Amino acid sequence: MDKKAICLGELLIDFVSTLNGVTLRDAPGFEKAPGGAPANVAVGLSKLGIETYFIGKIGKDAFGDFLRMTLDKNGVKTDYLTSTTKAKTTLAFVSLTEEGERDFVFYRDPGADMLLDQSDIIDSIFSGSGVFHFGSITMTHEPSNSATFKAIQLARKYGYLVSFDPNLRPALWKTLDEAREKMRLGIELSDVVKLNEEEAMFIAEANTIEEAIQYLQRSYNLALVIITLGKEGSILIHQEKSLRVEGFPVHAVDTTGAGDGFVAGLISSLYMFWNDLRERKPIPDDTLRYAGRRANAVGALTTLKKGAIPALPTQEEVEIFIEE
């Protein structure tokens, strides 16, 4: 394979409660799980056979070393992962409902991942061709906001397909209007955008999914928009079409990273079409359905174990699961 994926953004450690259905205060213990949405996508892509690089920042501490080792072990290239003494590696504490839905608090004041700055983003990162994926958490503060936008501009300049998953975390923004405005800007600069239902309604200021779909089709010239619907699956919106793809029934333990696994599954399935998407060429329905089904499979498999990175499946696991 000569094309590569580059993911940029937050990288942190989740301490996940060992018991579902209790508050953080009542958690009997915690398991250490490396995460951060774009880092999860990077590992997902690497496990699915794509050459993948990660751009981010860790603290010069034991948790940072652990994160670098985790990316290395999963085959993600860490040449552009820098470290700092000015902040500690970001940590989060996570509690889960019985159904595996998460609630969390951050230890980030700021965390090292938010100190990514423009000098970390160099042209040579974007040699060759491929896909660039980013999220919105690094857009909440400086200097990582400017670093993120510099990377988006370079990715576009060098002809990369640009993929965006806002991953809305309302508590991290000063105001919701600022969050909406930044997310809209991120969408305008992207080719492929993945939203969950809540994000689609928020960005479109819509009351129904149909209204949100119309807004997204009318307001942007995107190659592909995906709205994920949790266990119900996903909707793929391409040009004037929207295709509904059913999810896989599984017994979810922890839904952390399902959306990130989904993105990795989708992008890797469209490997042969990255250039066509960038050029806004029509993609056949069968190809889109195949990509949506495989992305749903990766999302579903990611819910079967605690944490995101440890739960992301390999190519072989996905094939076996789809055939069952």
List residues near ligand ADP by CB under 6 A: 196, 228-231, 233-234, 247-248, 250, 252, 255, 258-259, 262, 296, 299-300, 303
- Among residues 56 and 100, whose Cβ is nearest to ligand ADP? 100
Q: What is the token pair recorded at 153?
A: 């501009």
State the nearest-atom distance from the C-beta of 97 to ligand ADP, in Å: 12
Report the residue count for the chain: 324
State the nearest-atom distance from the C-beta of 213 to ligand ADP, in Å: 15
State the nearest-atom distance from the C-beta of 135 to ligand ADP, in Å: 10
State the nearest-atom distance from the C-beta of 189 to ligand ADP, in Å: 20
- Among residues 130 and 257, whose Cβ is nearest to ligand ADP? 257
Identify the helix (H) or strand (E) that includes residue 119: none
**Residue in the structure block whose two tokens are 């990273």:** 257
- Among residues 116 and 200, whose Cβ is nearest to ligand ADP? 200
Within 13 Å of residue 193, how many CA atoms lie on the same side as its CB? 27
Q: Count CB neighbours of 121 within 10 A.
A: 22
From CA 41, how far away is CA 283, in angstroms rounded? 23
Q: Is residue 310 reached through a cis peptide bond, with omega within 30 degrees of 0 on the bond before it?
A: no
Catalytic residues: 257-260
CA distances from 292 to 217, 245, 246 (A): 19, 6, 9
Q: What is the token pair recorded at 32?
A: 């250490």
The answer to whether the beta carbons of residues 6 and 160 sit under 8 Å apart is yes
- Among residues 144 and 296, whose Cβ is nearest to ligand ADP? 296
